[in-house]
Amino acid sequence: MLTESQKKAVFHKDGALLVLAGPGSGKTRVITNRIMALIDAGVRSFNICAITFTNKAADEMRQRLSMVRGVHISTFHSLCVRILRQYPSQAKI
């Protein structure tokens, strides 16, 4: 069950959206519901990248979206490491 504020975030349509909330307020729930809403609206799952700060939140997102294939879910750190490993010459490393 989503609150009214969470529903606004899940079904936001125009432009970027920033969700600021404290621990345990349902940010991960909002993100996973937003991903499902985007897919329901016709966005292909492989065009969605969900990035979070903690491994715990990334694992929770993966569990909640286990029935959806193709969504890339990672932490900021793992995504950056992946990019650096994929493009080492551009990063000059």
Q: Domain ranges in the chain?
A: 4-91
CA distance linking residue 62 with residue 41, whole number of Å: 20
CA distance linking residue 41 with residue 58, whole number of Å: 23
Q: How confident is the model at residue 19 (pLDDT cuts 50, 70, 90)?
A: confident
Of 41, 33, 35, 29, whose CA–CA distance to 70 is shortest? Answer: 35
pLDDT of residue 45: 96
Asked if 30 contacts 2 with a C-beta cutoff of 8 angstroms, the reply is yes
Retrieve residue 48's tokens.
């969605």
Question: Which residues on adjacent β-strands are paired with residue 52?
Answer: 75
Q: How confident is the model at residue 91 (pLDDT cuts 50, 70, 90)?
A: confident
Q: Which fold has domain 4-91?
A: Rossmann fold (3.40.50)
pTM of the model: 0.83
Mean of pLDDT values over 39-54: 94
Mean of pLDDT values over 52-68: 93
Return the residue matching tokens 């995504």. 79
